[in-house]
A and B are shown apart, each in its own frame.
Chain A
């Protein structure tokens, strides 16, 4: 077991969407390396409450890396320093030797800040609504084994479907593109026979919606893949581009 840490936290505070916002510094002493980053933030909030101050608002829910609710930029990195790991799974021991941490929300036009570190990612739901589904009503399904899917295709579809919709790809992208998110959904369905009938329509509508929501274009920088806690491959974006061109050509 290693020693407890003393930290200076520089945290983004913003009262609401209309407020300009600013950094505020806080001292945290005696932080156990075995607590998670979010637990450290909890402790800070306990302290602030006792001091009659308002806690720092941040989002989290499952705290096991699957719901996609958490997401902070720590020292400039979306979800912090650990590869393939969401913020809630990062423990303080990863910051050993550091004394100063800067904590910010996802910063992009399409995700307005609601308060402090909490942002509105509703634009991602809109992209899904534009076509991220197979149009089949409850009760209409044939027997599951009526549809055979090659294992390779199924595995690749699962790789894409693992996306947790956290938005780190957007936060990490210099163009603020939501291409990795959108491509993951388009790929999942494009790889499966069930997705076939609506394939072109889906690609066209979801890509169009992405633009409407104000996300930027993809210029293959690869920052999204590097920041993705689920290691969604950038090859999905290439597939999305093919699907989109195919849809446009009719």
Chain B
């Protein structure tokens, strides 16, 4: 299969304008003849549904949440990047583009990333016009901060609730279109499969999560904005219902899946407190601006932090990376935490944590300043752990946070299935091997507000409007498959709960496909995951019926897909014989122990083709051409 990324020719800065001009247009009067199905109401889903409805298309919009406003995007804290250069500190579209390409360790497409940087400014304008209450200065203009190691101040924020406010902005636009009848919104409805007719994506089969009713929706195109797959690992910072099923079902129907091994691990999360743990809570990255990371020098030192004298503490990030210190990028901070814990120097009851200490910050700045900056985070930490970070250092540990990989899409955000577009975290497009802080919100909204409204028109104008009857045999076939799958699960009546099996998968992924990976471990994971999958299909236990609200059944259906995706994550990690960004192979390190890319052999995006259940998938490559930036090794020493 030849992958055509459809990147427009010409100078980088002109590509998007040129492309927009060349795309065919749908006549304004004809837009109402088309129906577009948007799955998801996060930033990408809500922004695209609202924008497309405003243009005149009929939109069918689905989500699993009880209200569109509760999509996982709501939880984003830190902020959103844009190249406004309001602080006059030398930022530009080019710099944001360059930082994103470099931050992604040169494993993303130049043209996509440049477009992302270009439209970043429109997002801020759009959100302000919607009434998003961004933080402001006394002069009445927008405030901004630097974030995630960026050397310019380009992150806009709304307290610690930026995702919430941006999502509520998009949701308000979406609700306006619901009222106008241009969006038909269905909440507590889950897409179970994709309907393909004559090779084109024409609809989705869904399950009503309250009544269990299976129902199909058909249209002229389908957009997936269904978020990332971090929950494959069981424990992550994602919302507990976040899942990969929509993307995975599309994959099984022919959409290639790219870079599944690229997952981001966030260094500052609250450690696991016990077997009951259901999710992990992120502590804002900003804490590393003033907190100092350390562990005892001695192995197994169980003394309380305040009894360990200065000379017996190892401030390992400051020692190893003198110029960036505690502010090294996420992947490096995470990996080093794992290393010291592997050495037996981790702290807390489990030994799987490192200290983030504010004692010096309190001495230097005073308690009031620390409270002003981090008070709400300290409170949250105390509520969860029952420990007071003013008195004893926080304990933190890395956790799965974000998936850079996802469904392969071209420059138009179209997958390898014509008429299937994928937006937001669900696609693989812009972050390469590592995502920079405050760039996911930017990408989700760029895709939804400013890219898809143009590119989908080019597709629709070409194919023309046509309706598909939901009684068509192709539709009924997919419905039947979904129904059979549900019945099969309910009939197993085994001995293990969904959570128990999901934990087993999570443990394998975390141990062998987590922060550092090697050939032996990955091969083991590829051996073990099919066993867990088999166990699931033989021994899972879901009580209740399919004709009612049944969360265990929902979770079982999602787990079945994670059990397939999990193996692909391991396969992709095994294939990629280099270290880059979030993907760290212990066999491929520099003399100093840092990630070592292999640009000669791995400057490509992997794109996996599904070949059937328990069959080895086939990998295709999209080679990445770097015309405008030079590839360099990242260094934070």
Q: If A32-B276, A57-B551, A115-B548 touch, does A63 touch B240 (CB 8 Å cutoff)?
A: yes
Residues of B within 8 A of A195 (CB): 131
Query: Which of the residues B210, B383, B497 comes within 8 Å of A49, measured between beta carbons?
Result: B497
Closest to A115 in B: B549
Closest to A145 in B: B141
Answer yes or no: B161 CB below 8 A from chain A CBs: yes
Query: Which of the residues A40, A59, A141, A150 comes within 8 Å of B276, measured between beta carbons?
Result: A40
Q: If A64-B75, A125-B175, A145-B86 touch, does A136 touch B497 (CB 8 Å cutoff)?
A: no
Report the bound CA distance from A65 to B376 in whole Å. Answer: 12
Query: Which of the residues A63, A91, A143, A194 comes within 8 Å of B279, measured between beta carbons?
Result: A63
Interfacial residues of chain B within 128-153, with CB under 8 A of chain A in the complex: 128-131, 133-142
Closest to B542 in A: A49
Q: If A138-B453, A141-B126, A144-B125 touch, does A128 touch B66 (CB 8 Å cutoff)?
A: no
Residues of A within 8 A of B548 (CB): 15-16, 115
Residues of B within 8 A of A35 (CB): 273-274, 276-277
Answer yes or no: A122 CB below 8 A from chain B CBs: yes
Closest to B132 in A: A161
Closest to A165 in B: B69
Interfacial residues of chain A within 22-50, with CB under 8 A of chain B in the complex: 32-36, 38-40, 42-43, 45-46, 48-50
In the complex the two chains form, is B384's CB within 8 Å of A91's CB?
A: yes
Answer yes or no: B449 CB below 8 A from chain A CBs: yes
Answer yes or no: B518 CB below 8 A from chain A CBs: no
Answer yes or no: B363 CB below 8 A from chain A CBs: no
Answer yes or no: B392 CB below 8 A from chain A CBs: no
- Shortest B182–chain A CB gap in Å is 11
In the complex the two chains form, is A54's CB within 8 Å of B544's CB?
A: yes
Closest 6 CB pairs of A and B: A148-B140, A133-B172, A141-B129, A141-B125, A138-B51, A158-B133
Residues of A within 8 A of B127 (CB): 144
Answer yes or no: A114 CB below 8 A from chain B CBs: yes
Residues of B within 8 A of A82 (CB): 383
Report the bound CA distance from A133 to B53 in whole Å. Answer: 15
Report the bound CA distance from A154 to B500 in whole Å. Answer: 47
Report the bound CA distance from A65 to B137 in whole Å. Answer: 27
B137-180 CB contact bits vs A (8 Å, 1 = yes)?
Answer: 11111100000000000000011010011001001110110110
In the complex the two chains form, is A162's CB within 8 Å of B552's CB?
A: no
Report the bound CA distance from A157 to B50 in whole Å. Answer: 23
Stretch in A66-74, A172-180, A218-226, A234-242 touching the partner: A66-74
Known: A46-B497, A64-B279, A66-B161. 5 other contacts (CB 8 A): A43-B276, A45-B552, A82-B383, A139-B126, A161-B165
Report the bound CA distance from A89 to B176 in whole Å. Answer: 32
In the complex the two chains form, is A138's CB within 8 Å of B549's CB?
A: no
Interfacial residues of chain B within 531-556, with CB under 8 A of chain A in the complex: 541-544, 548-552
In the complex the two chains form, is B178's CB within 8 Å of A134's CB?
A: no
Query: Which of the residues B65, B171, B273 comes within 8 Å of A61, measured between beta carbons?
Result: B65
In the complex the two chains form, is A129's CB within 8 Å of B133's CB?
A: no
Answer yes or no: A81 CB below 8 A from chain B CBs: no
In the complex the two chains form, is B66's CB within 8 Å of A46's CB?
A: no
Answer yes or no: A188 CB below 8 A from chain B CBs: yes
Report the bound CA distance from A139 to B452 in whole Å. Answer: 13
Residues of B within 8 A of A114 (CB): 210, 549
In the complex the two chains form, is A188's CB within 8 Å of B133's CB?
A: yes
Residues of B within 8 A of A64 (CB): 75, 279, 281-282, 380
In the complex the two chains form, is A118's CB within 8 Å of B549's CB?
A: yes
Report the bound CA distance from A66 to B164 in whole Å. Answer: 8
- Shortest B511–chain A CB gap in Å is 23
Report the bound CA distance from A25 to B135 in whole Å. Answer: 48
5 pairs of residues in contact across A and B, judged by CB atoms under 8 Å: A50-B497, A63-B240, A67-B74, A144-B124, A155-B133
Query: Which of the residues A52, A54, A133 comes within 8 Å of B130, measured between beta carbons?
Result: A133
Closest to B71 in A: A67
Q: Please give the number of chain A residues whose Cβ is less than 8 angstroms from any Cβ of chain B in the complex.
A: 82
- Shortest A51–chain B CB gap in Å is 9
Binding site for B on A (CB under 8 A): 1, 15-16, 32-36, 38-40, 42-43, 45-46, 48-50, 52-55, 57, 59-69, 82, 85, 89, 91, 93, 114-115, 118, 120-122, 124-125, 128-130, 132-145, 147-151, 154-155, 157-158, 161-162, 164-165, 188-189, 192, 194-195
In the complex the two chains form, is A61's CB within 8 Å of B133's CB?
A: no
Q: If A55-B552, A151-B136, A151-B140 touch, does A161 touch B168 (CB 8 Å cutoff)?
A: yes
Interface size class of B (residues with CB under 8 A): 35 or more
Residues of A within 8 A of B134 (CB): 154
Report the bound CA distance from A91 to B175 in whole Å. Answer: 35
In the complex the two chains form, is B384's CB within 8 Å of A69's CB?
A: no
Report the bound CA distance from A209 to B368 in whole Å. Answer: 44
Q: If A93-B386, A125-B175, A138-B51 touch, does A165 touch B75 (CB 8 Å cutoff)?
A: no
The winner among B127, B133, B137, B544 for most chain A CB atoms within 10 A is B133
Binding site for A on B (CB under 8 A): 47, 50-51, 54, 65-70, 72, 74-75, 84, 86, 122, 124-131, 133-142, 158-159, 161, 164-165, 168, 171-173, 175-176, 178-179, 187, 210, 239-241, 273-274, 276-279, 281-282, 349, 380, 383-386, 449-450, 453, 497, 499-500, 541-544, 548-552
The winner among A49, A188, A192, A194 for most chain B CB atoms within 10 A is A49
Residues of A within 8 A of B241 (CB): 61
Report the bound CA distance from A64 to B238 in whole Å. Answer: 10
Residues of B within 8 A of A141 (CB): 122, 125-126, 128-129
In the complex the two chains form, is A150's CB within 8 Å of B140's CB?
A: yes
- Shortest A200–chain B CB gap in Å is 16
Report the bound CA distance from A33 to B179 in whole Å. Answer: 46
In the complex the two chains form, is A62's CB within 8 Å of B140's CB?
A: no
Report the bound CA distance from A133 to B68 in whole Å. Answer: 15
In the complex the two chains form, is B383's CB within 8 Å of A85's CB?
A: yes
Report the bound CA distance from A171 to B617 in whole Å. Answer: 51
Residues of B within 8 A of A1 (CB): 349
Report the bound CA distance from A179 to B240 in whole Å. Answer: 30
Query: Which of the residues B122, B384, B499 comes within 8 Å of A46, measured between beta carbons?
Result: B499
In the complex the two chains form, is A121's CB within 8 Å of B158's CB?
A: no
In the complex the two chains form, is B449's CB within 8 Å of A62's CB?
A: no
Report the bound CA distance from A184 to B60 in whole Å. Answer: 29
Residues of A within 8 A of B122 (CB): 139, 141
Closest to A63 in B: B279
Residues of B within 8 A of A61 (CB): 65, 70, 72, 239-241
- Shortest A33–chain B CB gap in Å is 8
- Shortest B233–chain A CB gap in Å is 16
In the complex the two chains form, is B551's CB within 8 Å of A55's CB?
A: yes
Residues of A within 8 A of B136 (CB): 149-151, 154-155
Report the bound CA distance from A158 to B274 in whole Å. Answer: 36
Report the bound CA distance from A16 to B550 in whole Å. Answer: 11
The winner among B65, B67, B349 for most chain A CB atoms within 10 A is B67
In the complex the two chains form, is B67's CB within 8 Å of A42's CB?
A: no
Query: Which of the residues B179, B278, B281, B384 comes within 8 Å of A42, measured between beta carbons?
Result: B278
- Shortest A68–chain B CB gap in Å is 6
Residues of A within 8 A of B542 (CB): 49
Residues of B within 8 A of A140 (CB): 129
- Shortest B28–chain A CB gap in Å is 13
Report the bound CA distance from A154 to B157 in whole Å. Answer: 12
In the complex the two chains form, is B129's CB within 8 Å of A142's CB?
A: yes
Report the bound CA distance from A148 to B141 in whole Å. Answer: 6
The winner among A48, A62, A66, A138 for most chain B CB atoms within 10 A is A138
Q: If A61-B240, A158-B158 touch, does A194 touch B131 (CB 8 Å cutoff)?
A: yes
In the complex the two chains form, is A89's CB within 8 Å of B384's CB?
A: yes
Closest to B158 in A: A158
In the complex the two chains form, is A69's CB within 8 Å of B173's CB?
A: no
Residues of A within 8 A of B159 (CB): 158, 162
Residues of A within 8 A of B239 (CB): 61-63, 67
In the complex the two chains form, is A138's CB within 8 Å of B126's CB?
A: yes
Report the bound CA distance from A14 to B140 in whole Å. Answer: 52
Q: If A42-B276, A69-B70 touch, does A133 touch B176 (CB 8 Å cutoff)?
A: yes
Residues of B within 8 A of A143 (CB): 125
